[in-house]
Every structure is written in structure tokens, then in C-alpha cells.
Amino acid sequence: MKRSFVKNSKAKASTGTVAESPLLASDATVAQALPLARFPIGKVDKVDVSLPEGYHEPSLKYVERDARHGSLQTAMTYTTVPNPFNCANFSSEPVSECFFFPGSKEVLMNLPNYPQPLVRPKTTSFHMIDVPGKGKGLFSTRALKAGDLILTERPLLVCARAVVILRPPNFSDAQYSQYSLDHLEKVTEIAVGRMRPEAKAAFMALANCHMEDGSGPLFGVVRTNGLSLGGLRPGVRGEMGTYNATCKDISRLNHSCFPNTASRFDMASFSYSLYAVRDIADGEELTYQYTAVGVPAAERKKALAPSGFVCTCTACTDAATSDARRSNIAAFNANLIEARASDEFLGKLLVKCRAQLELVEQEGLESLRIYWILLRALMDVHIWRGQAKDASAYAGKLNKMPTSSRITMNSSTPTDTRNTKRGEKSIAVSLKRTGRTALISCFIIFAMYTSEYCNYCSISV
């Protein structure tokens, strides 16, 4: 999941409140291509947004609705997830306050297994402390192994990341941006007003690196701490298809260009799970990637600038060495497509994949999906070469990855479960694959590698 540290009227606090706001356009209006008010990134200077004489700002209206109902098709919806009406047996769990586009609530309600309780790890393995130069941060309180679950949590707030707001006549871009921010502050105020007291206190305690710009105090917190959350607007791409999720704990993670954690979002329990992507020592800081980390240091620096800090990790301070390795990681696949699925080719592929895996580990990029793809490639190549034990070892590693779907035993697929005899047997069955299948699979791996490397930001949502 890409972390998107992007950048008021009152409604009664009850579940299912619907904002019928003429300011907020419906999907139908969006289709008419009205200007899109994107969240401005970084510092936004305050500008005067006095409305033109004679311009009547549309007023906000709110309608109370039973939370069991879906959203109105023409309005943004405030709702609580999971819905307290249909999770009676775990209604005391933390919930998320959401500000949804029409249809997002239905995405959840139509899930066959929604809602599910929050499954927490048995032990707490982190705490929050002050970090010089970074504010606060999370640190491990015990040694963690790659794949260990560190925490699960429902976001405190999930809100639309971009909405269409009517542009008052003759407003400059800067005025329109400020006007949008003011509106988003109002929208956020309503959602925060609906939070339970402990959730509200946690939200208000979060960092805000937009105290001195045009963001209001609440929306500044969202812009500082929000993670990108996709999947709730099928068919809608880009900004409009993405939400912003502000969390109590995950939002406390500081950035690293070789993060040691990655998260995964589960719709049914509406929660994030945070995992260790490699072994983490007792007392080590837990870190997360705020931006694409496979790109050169200069690009990362630019992308992180709006968050108001300069990364001082070794990949940034010793950029020359790290950039060379990362561009090598990005360029991988170039020479292999032409090759044949002969044993010789598979041998070469094995060597290349191993070298590449070592490079990814050296750069601390286990959080990226490319790591998963390499493990998968290595497992498959060992399967094709009849090396069940080696394949099992990679299958075991794969199963620890947060981004991995569990590899299950199935005699018709070339997969392994864990480091077990049964797994080896299953691999042996798969050895019946022909060289042609192997070649096709190699193409698939490289296609995946290329596209995933480009899109790895979306790994965990």
C-alpha cells in the first residue's frame, strides 16, 4: 500500500448520517467533468477566499439515515464501519468513521463475509517513543521474525481523497485550492465529531505538519497521516477511486527508504495488518514507505518534500551506491525474455533470480512486491528443475510475506505448502509440467515483475 501522506457545519453524531451537499457533486456530476478539487500536496499558502459579490454559496444539508441502509446514490455518506447493527458480537471493537462516495458502503455490505471481527496479535510487540528529529515513532519491544504480525487496526477515519467542489466564479487556482481546503475541513469536522471519545482523542493527538498553511487543524491531520486506501470504488481510477485512511498506530510509523514493515488491508474486517518484512531486532524502529522507494534518491527526496522532512537513511545519504543497485533491480528481466525454457535457461534464471534477491535484501526492499515475485520465481524454477527441497524453502519464505496469498497444497498446481514432506510431494506432482509451460510461466513472472515494479506502491491495499 502506498502511503499517501497527502497532504466546516455540524451534523448530529449518529451512524448513517448523509450529507446532501450541493457543494459535493455526485458521480453523475463527476461524469459531466466538473473541475476536480485535488488535495493540494505540501505547504499551501493561505489566500483570501472572499466570495464574489452576489455569489450564494450552496448550504450543506444533512439527513439522518438508518445505518443499515446503503448510501444515497446522489450524496456523500457519513457512516460507521463496521456497522454496529450487524456486528452485535463484536460491537465493542474500535470502528472507523467514514466519509464515502455513493456505492462504497455497498461494496462492503455486498461482501459475503462482511463484517468480520478484528483479529489482534496475541502479544504487543511495539511501543511509541520520541525520535530525535522525527517527532514520535514506533519501536519493537521484542525481536520479530519476517512475516510476524505486529498489529491490526481499523482506521480512525476514512475519507474521500478528492471531491468535486463547485468553483466560485473568477476564483484563481490558489483561491479555489484554499476554498476546497476550507470545505474539506468542514467535512472532516463532521466525521471527527462522530468519533467515539477515545478515537477522537487518538486522532487529535496525531502529528500535523500543516499547522502553518492553509489546511484547517483537522484536515491537516488527515493530510499528514493518511494512507491510500483503494478498492472501495471499483471501476473508478486515480484520485477519485482512492480514499485516505488515518490510523492511530500505523500513522505513527516514520518513513524509511528500506522499510522493515508493510501493511495489508482486509475489507471484511475493515482493518490493516502490519507485518515485519524481515527480521527486526528488539528495540529497532519500525518503519514504513511513504513513497515509491525503488526510484533514485533524488526522486524520493522530491516526493517526500511535501511531508516536510529530508530522509537521512543510508540509501539517501549514500545515494550513488544505492541508486546503482536500485536501478539494477528495476532493470532486471531485460535479458531473459529471449531465452528458452531449457534446463540451461532455468539454471541461468536461477542464478539471476538469486542475485536479484540478494540485491533486494541488500537494499532492504523486502516490503516490495518484487521480493514476493522473486521468491515465487525461485520456487517455480526449483519446481521445474525437480529440486523439491529448495522449492519448499522458498515456499516457506513466501508464506511469511504479508503480500502473499497462502500457497496451498493442490496436486494440480505447482505449489508447495511449507517445509513439509507433503509439500515436497505436491511439488513432485507438479514436475510433470512441460518445458513449454515453464517458458510461459517465465513470461508471466517477468511481466509481473515489470508491472509490479512500476506499481509496487499499491502492494498492500
Ligand X SMILES: C[S@@+](CC[C@H](N)C(=O)[O-])C[C@H]1O[C@@H](n2cnc3c(N)ncnc32)[C@H](O)[C@@H]1O
- Residues in contact with ligand X by the rule CB under 6 A: 5, 133-137, 206-207, 209, 224-225, 251-252, 254-255, 307-309, 311
- 211 and 220 Cβ atoms separated by less than 8 Å: yes
Within 272-387, where are the H helices? 297-304, 314-317, 319-331, 343-362, 369-384
- Choose between 6 and 379: whose C-beta lies nearer to ligand X: 6
CB of 119 to ligand X, least distance (A): 24
Q: Identify which of 424, 445, 444, 315 has the alpha carbon closest to the alpha carbon of residue 378.
A: 445
Q: Identify which of 334, 355, 321, 59 has the alpha carbon closest to the alpha carbon of residue 186.
A: 59
- Choose between 252 and 376: whose C-beta lies nearer to ligand X: 252
Helix/strand/coil for 446: helix
DSSP 252: G
Cβ neighbours of residue 404 under 8 Å, at least 6 residues apart?
372, 398
- Choose between 42 and 103: whose C-beta lies nearer to ligand X: 42
- Alpha carbon dihedral 399, 95, 109, 20, in 10-degree steps, equals -140
Distance CA 230, CA 3 (A): 11
Buried residues in 285-312 as b, exposed as e (16+ CB within 10 A): bbbbbbbbbbbbbeebeebbebbeeebe
Distance CA 78, CA 71 (A): 9
- Choose between 11 and 221: whose C-beta lies nearer to ligand X: 221
Radius of gyration of the chain (CA): 24
Residue 398's identity, in one-letter code, is L
Three cell numbers written together for 85: 447493527
Three cell numbers written together for 63: 439527513
- Choose between 127 and 432: whose C-beta lies nearer to ligand X: 127
Cis peptide bond N-terminal to 52, omega within 30: no
Q: Identify which of 303, 290, 301 has the alpha carbon closest to the alpha carbon of residue 253.
A: 290
Distance CA 439, CA 7 (A): 45
Q: Select the residue whose beta carbon is closest to ligand X and give its number.
A: 135
Measured from the Cβ of residue 315, the count of other Cβ atoms closer than 10 Å reads 22
- Choose between 265 and 394: whose C-beta lies nearer to ligand X: 265
- Choose between 218 and 383: whose C-beta lies nearer to ligand X: 218
Q: Identify which of 61, 51, 279, 301 has the alpha carbon closest to the alpha carbon of residue 175.
A: 51
CB of 300 to ligand X, least distance (A): 11
- Choose between 216 and 396: whose C-beta lies nearer to ligand X: 216
- Choose between 21 and 208: whose C-beta lies nearer to ligand X: 208
CB of 150 to ligand X, least distance (A): 16
Distance CA 452, CA 369 (A): 7
> How do strand 254-255 and strand 157-160 relate by DSSP bridges?
unpaired
CB of 220 to ligand X, least distance (A): 11
CB of 2 to ligand X, least distance (A): 13
Helix/strand/coil for 24: strand
